[in-house]
Amino acid sequence: MARIITDCPWLNPCLSVKSVVKGASKIVLITGVTRGLGRALAEWYIANGHTVIGCGRSAEVLNLRFTHPAPHDFTALDVAEENRVALWAAKVGAPDILINNAALMNTPAPLWKIPAREFNQLIDVNIKGVANVIRHFVPAMVARGSGVIVNLSSGWGRSTSPEVAPYCASKYAMEGLTKSLAQELPAGMAAVPLNPGVIDTDMLRLCWPDGAANHPKAEAWAKIAAPFILQLGPKDNGKSISVPGGDE
């Protein structure tokens, strides 16, 4: 198990991870690895000797397959399609760390102006997609009796703003779903809703086009977040956790 010591990470990224003591290589499953936070996490874990199993919908998955061959594995898959998730889980088996990262942001607008189709698609991915992944991967983790499930929440899973109601609803759902799941897991496992902070990705640019560039890039964030996730365990089960420094 890796151990991380942080020191004011966003103020001085060079000082942010003073020491990472590496343990055994982990199998890390990440949904939504083609860009953004999921991609940055995947690249960090691979560069640091872990095995990454990932998915995404776009053709960038093919690029990942060529760049990072076996034991890493990347599958073109929409987490909202349960049958595909089931086949994927049957192929992969039990990861050590399961990161439910894939999600959508709504086009900012008052709730009454958001079309049903857009609302439904967001819920299908952000809530039902996470449940699909849990339904098909967690039984093997429970049978083994170990593993950590990290469900990406948000500041908007713990507070609200106008024009992001569907997204807020989905991230508040992540908090409740994950805390309830935590009460169901056997000792030795953990489920954690994780607020990553505010990071300059495609998603942030969609909801905050003018301000996104002032926030850290995903690669800098991953240097803090990826080792931080590695040290999560049963001591954290059911706690609402934030990546250190990520709210600044």
Ligand X SMILES: NC(=O)c1ccc[n+]([C@@H]2O[C@H](COP(=O)([O-])OP(=O)(O)OC[C@H]3O[C@@H](n4cnc5c(N)ncnc54)[C@H](OP(=O)(O)O)[C@@H]3O)[C@@H](O)[C@H]2O)c1
Residues near ligand X (CB under 6 A) are 31-38, 55-58, 60, 78-80, 101-104, 125, 129, 152, 154, 196, 198-199, 201-204
Query: d(Cα 157, Cα 178) in Å, to the nearest integer?
Result: 12
Nearer to ligand X, 86 or 142 (CB): 86
Catalytic: 167? Answer: yes
Positive or negative: CA dihedral 114, 78, 195, 235: positive
Q: How far is the CB of 42 from ligand X (least distance, A)?
A: 9
The closest residue (CB) to ligand X is 36
Q: How far is the CB of 4 from ligand X (least distance, A)?
A: 20
The torsion angles phi and psi of 76, rounded to 5 degrees, stand at -80, 115
Nearer to ligand X, 1 or 213 (CB): 213
Residue tagged active-site, from 167, 172, 221, 228: 167
Nearer to ligand X, 142 or 206 (CB): 206
By CB atoms closer than 10 A (0-12, 13-18, 19+), residue 49 is: exposed
Nearer to ligand X, 101 or 106 (CB): 101
Q: How far is the CB of 55 from ligand X (least distance, A)?
A: 5
Cis peptide before 115 (omega within 30 of 0): no
Query: d(Cα 141, Cα 148) in Å, to the nearest integer?
Result: 9
One-letter amino acid of 93 = G
Q: How far is the CB of 157 from ligand X (least distance, A)?
A: 8
Measure CA 243 to chain center: 12
Cite the active site residues.
167
